[in-house]
Structure 1
């Protein structure tokens, strides 16, 4: 669960793609953003995904290799293209068109993936990469292969129409921690047939799915974090937003890092807010912030 230098192994499991903006393209996908931020925070960040055996895949992996991510279990698909998403920003907030039938729709549960999952101190997986049956089966098998003490984080991360009650419920049953944003709460509540008042919603999720923690992010308004015995309503930090792409993934990375340090839940939430805000204050989902994160960790 830790590397020889004692860094915990943290895995981002799911989609990897090019975010194609009007002014160019950048590596993207919530699992990749999450894994990169945990690497910057001092963990051993691993990406479990699938890209095409094409030039776009080569260039995408090279871009992430330069960011020090462990890509040793990334699969290459000889038939499907590397994934891409068309992104437009409206007042700093991203809108996505996610293209279908790409490599990460065919993730396989390989021996290499199983072996890495068995070493995980934490794994984060979402809903989007479960839109195809093969990837959904592989993701569920991979999460199930983690050690009992692994933090299994389900970042709901709803995109377009790529979700269903069956997938969401199965993912909630696999998780120990769930993270979603305040816009996703009523959607998930409607899928599950439960109340959408955030605190009640969180407590119902914890009870029904035997969860440890529910995190609801609220952008500039901070977050609500609920456990089986307590809840923390943590205000946001005023910043000048460059764009919000990847800020939620950075929050998740910050929260996981803090929990692996065994910090109290309330302190973990405050720290995660700060990490998410720092990313939102910069362009893109993967800004270089290692020095700033190290300084922030020292403050805590």
Structure 2
């Protein structure tokens, strides 16, 4: 059953990359999906990460750190042939620039029967496009997403939704499978219209930043109406769109509603991971049936705090967690 009360612990599954962000002076654990899983755990969710690491020192360290952060890493596979992923990170005018190494273990994520069972009973499944850069992982994920969507459609046919139910509560359910949340996480040179359109076809909630909105306008192979007006195109097809705007906060969009938040002050020490933290709050609160205005305020607050700390996975203190609950 879905988590629908303010005290329940939503079951959140993150599918995708687990890697090390390599800065000029140090290496820090990262990867959008791993960051999201970490923050979901910090926020009190039952957080499962589905990824893959090499059977090497970096992989062992990654698993240890995530376990210590409360993440269930039973869905993280180990690869005997390909190393744990690494990404070179450089901050340019306060914004991160990435050079993503390949091959990497997370290019070989497999869908096991045990993981599939966990996902079917989760409250939210969060995924992106970067981990779909290999046909293997893309095929595994799309097979799962197709199954989940078909199960949802079958459930709707048997028990139509109450037309008067609020959208906030409508997303707090797992009787038709997990809420499907996609963080586009577009990273050159792995931006592909096929990846993006497949992800959007199966998504119910889409999170992207302003640069990614602009990237959709220039996405070769995308429908003309998507390129002309990305946000109206998205809101006509999914339940909720979240657009992050850095220090200027974020907005939430549905077909008939637009909510904006100006953001919270941040020192801007390191923006890496702030968007993933935003998505973690978004997933948790939607699973709990929280009103959208509150969802937006909490997500902006947490993202600003993460951006003011070094690394993508800082641990929040009790005062911050209380402000988010």
> Structures share a fold, TM > 0.5?
yes
CA contact (8 A) 1:242 1:280 kept: yes
CA positional deviation for 1:163: 1.9
Residue in structure 1 matched with residue 94 of structure 2 by the alignment: 92
Aligned counterparts, 1:112-261, within 5 A:
112-146=114-148, 148-191=176-219, 192=222, 193-194=224-225, 201-207=230-236, 210-261=237-288
SS at the partner of 1:274? helix
Residue in structure 2 matched with residue 79 of structure 1 by the alignment: 81
SS at the partner of 2:189? coil
Aligned counterparts, 1:248-287, within 5 A:
248-287=275-314
> 2:95 and 2:49 mapped to 1: Cα distance?
25
Which stretches in structure 2 are left out of the alignment for 5+ residues?
149-173
CA contact (8 A) 2:250 2:296 kept: yes
Higher relative contact order (CA 8 A, sep 6+): 2
Alignment length (residue pairs): 293
Aligned counterparts, 1:29-40, within 5 A:
29-40=31-42
1:138–1:231 Cα change, 3 Å: same
> 2:95 and 2:192 mapped to 1: Cα distance?
25
SS at the partner of 1:49? strand
CA positional deviation for 1:196: 6.1
SS at the partner of 2:75? coil
Aligned-pair RMSD on alpha carbons?
1.9
Q: 1:268-300 CA deviation, whole Å, 9 max, x = no partner?
A: 1111111100101111110010413322124xx
